[in-house]
Chain A
């Protein structure tokens, strides 16, 4: 059996096994076992992939498998991975693994919780391995819908409102997306041959430019909504703040990356001409996301809201980089997705753990956490430093690459936007250090906090996994960016064939 199919099969089997568990302990054990297998599989996949590449296999996608599903519509179950998707799968494997251990003590309806969580992961894994636009869309929606139950049942605060808002906005996004994908399908064969949903086959032809102009905004915004594109980002702060810990982790860490990945893999890759024409509109919007998200985070008092706005800023940077449309920026975008995925998951895990002890997320009600919970405090600082782009951690590598890529454009418009976007780094430093100062250092404001325990083993396991990954990327970024770079070439070639001319506002 193809190793990639296992990425869908293992979670499905795990969910099925959870149905038969009797209590929380069994449930979490089964879930942890399943997701550990998944993490090991991801590691194996990374090594297999590198081995294939070293052996000289230059195919665009590796480990491909193709089965005809609906013959009359030419829908296939077509899977395959390149360096980018391998990296995303590894990210997902790590975050899901950490997420299971971060929600180790989920007592309320634990079976249902873990099943929904793992179903969500199934959708994400399926999305990243898909080469067929139909199955890609199918998995995309599978990943979105469990969010409603996860937030609505196990969330906190105005959870019903947030869950509904998130679900409807994301489904609205898939409404746009569907129009885009159908249009791509019906123009996938300019010479009257059979139509196809296959990403690689479509990339070999040129969709007529006037159709691209019509379809690109649908596709890009459709994916962009999930990537927190301004002004469609409003689901994200509410959704993240209300969601339970593991769900915030998975959602900000992985699910939002579906948006960036899709915008890149489908919208820009398949419709480069329209992307170049319309990039300026979306560059402005994503520029706003980046800066606005960072400033939004400064004003927040709730730890989760801070991190949610910071996610808007960081994910905005992903889309920003993607729209710069050169190899360095693309590379930075992928690195940023992975870096942000790990770091935001770590943040949400820590916030969940702190909230579980202090029962508040308001920073002005807390203080001196470092004194009572040194482990959590230190990890929080590490996450914060990664987020503000300290060299040696993953955030620095990603953001540097993005800004280098963006600055390769010599015109005023791009440079201006790039400089504006870099201000977000400063603002990020402000809100991160402010939180660290008030929350971790400073006096202990509430004497109840003196008796709080530090992290338990499962919490340490969860956070250390993420810290290790962040540090690994920060210290040795090249093996990852090399892996990505090779796979970027076909995409960059396609774009440069389309003729790079910026017809922007200025």
Chain B
């Protein structure tokens, strides 16, 4: 390998190095100084995020197994931003006394899954894709069970690993059919010979079912709510934002690059799935009282919206998907950040606990309101632009009725997002959450997501930059 090859893989190699450094530091450092690991890890990852944004080359490694383009680097950078904010927001929780023993594990596991996602997005064949997917999944299960002394957390871990195993099995079966019918696992070669022969369609259906598990699309969503509720809140936000984002990225890449000959078929499949996903996610979110479950179902519904962009099958479609995920990362992390901050300092997690929050913690409430508006797609925050562009993409493919269903769903979702706003601003209670001040790292994380919620929408260069890198169906 030459230096240039190393540079092509810099995202992956750097993160592996960071994970190893943390592992070694954890062994070397005295127990009394262990808390220094947290800022150290965050600082290292901040460097990683910045380095990721340096201009990247295009290239292929390992005979086509691994490839990178500016578009793929961009996707990784989007994920990095999300992870960085999550790390900042986990500060009070990781520093809790009961997590002191295993705080470096949190970072190492998190980084390992991220490495898996990098490889998954960069994959040039189905083998690398599958390896990346598994590397990304297994550490998350360990993370979900991080506070394993709590039954719910342990249950979340087991549920996640079992349902992942099942979905991987389905996915693998699809991949084996693909290999059997085309004789290759390389994306380019598969794409060249793929047609709508029945077995290949079947293989595709297995593939999409497996992916639907990862993005928690209906009817493969049943694990989501329990896992989201049981896992520690920062892991939940990681699952709902980064994990979902990465899976959506690879799905759009594979659909556009490998299965483009099946465009008519996957458009119909996604049509049905997205309508189901939006309705089920929204209708179940309506009655949730636990904020984590609430956000879990809302994030299921959001995944349904993401599919709208994919269905366009055009450059505009891919742009709107990536752009929406970027917006979604900021909005959802804004919401999760507030939930995490409140849970870390008071242990409260129910929506009714938020009654009267504006009186005691106005800044948190305002951020939460912005995040809710952004998730609901209300201007002037970024969520409006994200949703609008997704709908524009779907309309460009002539799917007006789907757009109508989607916008109706956005209206339904507005109901429950407004319930949170109502709790904070309108409902009165004698026992509101007492005023508290978060630590500076949490605040930085919250400010970053708030800034993103505001800026990414108005600042059209973000959208245009993504658009300049995106591609349509080949």
A interface vs B, CB < 8 Å?
69-73, 75, 134, 137-138, 141-142, 145, 148-149, 152-153, 159-160, 164, 167-168, 171-172, 174-176, 178-179, 182-183, 185-186, 214, 218
Contact = CB atoms under 8 A, between A and B. Distances in A.
Contacts of A176: 404, 407
Nearest to B413: A171
A182 B426 contact: no
B460 A70 contact: yes
A138 B378 CA distance: 9
Interface in B448-474: 460, 463-464, 467
B373, B422, B426 pick with most chain A CB within 10 angstroms:
B426
Nearest to B362: A112
A70 B425 contact: no
Contact of B425 (A75, A149, A186): A149
B40 interface: no
A121 B388 CA distance: 23
Interface string B358-385: 0000000000000001000011100010
B319 interface: yes
Contact of B404 (A167, A168, A175): A175
A370 B460 CA distance: 58
A228 B389 CA distance: 29
Given A73-B392, A164-B415, A182 B403 contact: yes
Nearest to A140: B379
B422 A152 contact: yes
Interface of B: 316, 319, 373, 378-380, 384, 388-389, 391-392, 395-396, 400, 403-404, 407-408, 410-411, 414-415, 418, 421-422, 425-426, 460, 463-464, 467
A137 B380 CA distance: 11
Contact of A73 (B380, B389, B411): B389
Nearest to B394: A182
A178 B463 contact: no
Nearest to A71: B464
Given A145-B378, A160-B422, A176-B404, A171 B384 contact: no
B411 A178 contact: no
A179 B392 CA distance: 9
Given A70-B460, A148-B421, A168-B415, A182 B395 contact: yes
A152 B403 contact: no
Contact of B411 (A69, A172, A183, A218): A172
A205 B338 CA distance: 49
A164 B418 contact: yes
A153 B426 contact: yes
Given A141-B379, A152-B425, A172-B408, A72 B391 contact: no
A134 B463 CA distance: 15
Given A160-B426, A164-B415, A164-B418, A70 B463 contact: yes
Contacts of B418: 148, 164, 167
Contact of B464 (A70, A141, A172): A70
Given A182-B392, A186-B396, A167 B426 contact: no
Given A171-B414, A178-B391, A153 B425 contact: yes
A179 B411 CA distance: 14
Contacts of A73: 316, 389, 392
Main secondary structure of the interface of B (DSSP, over half): helix
A149 B391 contact: no
B463 A72 contact: yes
Given A153-B425, A153-B426, A182-B392, 20 more contacts: A70-B460, A71-B464, A72-B464, A73-B389, A73-B392, A75-B460, A141-B378, A145-B373, A148-B418, A152-B426, A167-B418, A168-B411, A172-B411, A176-B404, A178-B391, A178-B407, A179-B395, A179-B400, A182-B400, A185-B395
Nearest to B457: A138
Contacts, number: 83
A182 B391 contact: yes
A161 to B, nearest CB: 11
Contact of A142 (B319, B379, B464, B467): B379
A19 to B, nearest CB: 11
Nearest to B392: A182
A164 B420 CA distance: 12
The 8 A-B pairs of least Cβ separation, nearest first, read A175-B407, A182-B395, A152-B426, A70-B460, A171-B411, A72-B467, A179-B404, A138-B379
B380, B408, B422 pick with most chain A CB within 10 angstroms:
B380
A152 B392 CA distance: 32
Contacts of A159: 426
6 contacts: A71-B464, A72-B467, A138-B380, A145-B378, A149-B421, A164-B418
Contacts of B464: 70-72
Contacts of B319: 72
A179 B403 contact: yes
A141 B319 CA distance: 24
A19 B316 CA distance: 39
A73 to B, nearest CB: 7
Contacts of B408: 172, 175
A18 to B, nearest CB: 14
B183 to A, nearest CB: 39
A179 B418 CA distance: 23
B112 to A, nearest CB: 37
A380 to B, nearest CB: 32
Nearest to A77: B460
A313 to B, nearest CB: 27
B331 to A, nearest CB: 15
A149, A164, A175, A186 pick with most chain B CB within 10 angstroms:
A175
Contact of B395 (A138, A149, A183): A183
Contacts of A171: 410-411, 414
Contacts of B378: 141, 145
A153 B379 CA distance: 20
B380 A142 contact: yes
Nearest to A174: B407
Nearest to B409: A175
A192 B432 CA distance: 59
A478 B426 CA distance: 47
A168 B408 CA distance: 10
B414 A167 contact: yes
